[in-house]
Chains A and B, each alone.
Chain A
């Protein structure tokens, strides 16, 4: 069974601070995806990483896929209150449904 562990589980920071969220597994994935979920809504896809060592940037968000394709990180620069939400990583081996981590609940205080 593939498992994804996210850390930290909760994160409360001041506006303008930087933060990193980690997603780790002992399994190899063909791709990892990051989603953001707000209360009362379904998760929304932020990015998909498919190549070991890949780095993708989305404005103030930087995503990295580990060289061995077992882990990923999400770094947010100069966090804003609008970044508040539940961040979920998810992985697949290709033809299998996504396996999700339990998420990191981020709160950015103005």
Chain B
């Protein structure tokens, strides 16, 4: 597609439920990133995928968070047993390759845990 597409744009869930967030990157971009942005905060790195290499999961805050990227394209971020502190905007970005290339971000998924 022309840009990075994320769905849903908004998600309200009850504490303890699982949620899945989807990201469809720009076609041909081999690198895909997930970040989290809380109110008044900068972007917190979560995980990134580069081609067929093992993902860098070093930013995931707990084992309730996981992500996969199927066929080198679409990615899904899953949060299990959601907590109120998980409420944030989850941003996905893609770039041609990892390195000094700029990222193209989606509009994000605003997650609210009640």
Contact = CB atoms under 8 A, between A and B. Distances in A.
Interface of A: 30-31, 33, 40-45, 48, 50, 88, 90, 92, 94-103
Contacts of A40: 107
Nearest to B102: A45
Interface stretch (B11-19, B41-49, B78-86): B41-49
Interface majority SS (helix, strand, loop, mixed), chain B: loop
Nearest to B44: A100
A97 B48 CA distance: 7
Contacts of A48: 100-102
A97 B98 contact: yes
A38 to B, nearest CB: 10
Given A43-B91, A101-B42, 4 more contacts: A43-B105, A45-B102, A45-B104, A103-B42
B96 to A, nearest CB: 12
Interface of B: 4, 33, 35, 40-43, 45, 48, 56, 59, 91, 93, 98-108
A98 to B, nearest CB: 7
Contact of A99 (B45, B100, B102, B104): B45
Nearest to B6: A42
A99 B102 CA distance: 12
Given A97-B48, A97-B56, A45 B103 contact: yes
